[in-house]
Chain A
Amino acid sequence: MMSDALHFHYDVDGNNFTSAGEASVQIKRMLRQMGYHPDLIRRISVAMYEGEINMVIHAKGGDADVYVEPDCITVILKDVGPGIKDVNLAMQEGYSTAPDNIRSLGFGAGMGLPNMKRYSDELKIDSVVGVGTTIEMKFRSA
């Protein structure tokens, strides 16, 4: 289904909070060059940025893969972190398991997953405790 899509891969470094978000910055730049609508690009980059931050906070990093098709962009974020115990709870605004030191960095308000849902057209979370989490987001150009 995504065989004709352009594929971009990024390693998200889990040991460096400062660099968190670099993959999203690059995707934003690339989608701009490809001429996608600014509103669509903003939705994708914000959602992907939240995902990247989550991978750095909770899972020591992971893989970000972006598939670009003319009318649909798919972002897949895969980590081998601790997994999400209760996905429904994690989807509630304000629920967070982030440690205090992350809150002092401006994240961990429990808005990450809700924001990803808010900004994407489709969000799939596949998480197994002790194994890892894969998040797939789809964004359609209207």
Chain B
Amino acid sequence: MTIREMAERINATVYAEPDQLDEDLKGAFGSDMMSDVLAFAENRDVLLTGLLNPQIVRTAHMLDMRCIIIVRGKSATDEIKRLAAENQIALLETPLSMYEASGKLYEGGLGK
């Protein structure tokens, strides 16, 4: 699923470069616990989280993830946006809960 399509499905605000929007992403993992992401999310491209600190970007970067979706209507801090841009990781913000966002993306085929 592309970032463009993800953003439509979960009504998200996108922070990304134009060339990132149509990249085909495979697999996602949702957690607020970065230790668990590091343990269980290998070979997934998308991280859904409600945690808001720069370590969400570092965690995604270490796992070569391509996109972070911040759930529950929270806003990324400037530091998070800066780090994500620096590492070519797209950032999405959705008003949906992690459960709802995951459901809509899975239903659309992401990670199926």
Contacts and interface: CB of A to CB of B under 8 A. Distances in A.
Interface of A: 17-18, 20-21, 24-25, 28, 38, 42, 45-46, 49-50, 53, 93, 103, 105-112, 114-115, 118
A28 to B, nearest CB: 7
Contact of B55 (A38, A105, A114): A105
Given A24-B62, A28-B61, A111 B54 contact: no
A50 B38 CA distance: 8
Interface of B is mostly: helix
Interface string B46-86: 00010101111011011110000000000000010000000
A74 B36 CA distance: 24
Interface stretch (B7-15, B27-35, B91-99): B27-35
Given A21-B58, A107-B34, A107-B55, 14 more contacts: A17-B53, A20-B55, A24-B62, A45-B62, A46-B62, A46-B63, A49-B58, A93-B39, A106-B33, A106-B34, A106-B49, A106-B53, A106-B59, A109-B33
A18 B78 CA distance: 13
13 contacts: A17-B55, A20-B58, A21-B62, A28-B61, A49-B38, A50-B35, A106-B34, A106-B53, A106-B55, A107-B55, A111-B35, A112-B35, A115-B38
Contacts, number: 66
A25 B35 contact: no
A25 B61 contact: yes
Interface of A is mostly: helix
Classify chain B's interface size. Answer: 20 to 34
A107 B64 contact: no
A109 B79 contact: no
Contacts of B59: 49, 106
* 9 tightest A-B CB contacts, nearest first: A106-B34, A109-B35, A111-B35, A21-B58, A111-B39, A106-B51, A45-B62, A46-B62, A49-B62
Nearest to A98: B35
A42 B42 contact: yes
B63 A109 contact: no
Contacts of A103: 33
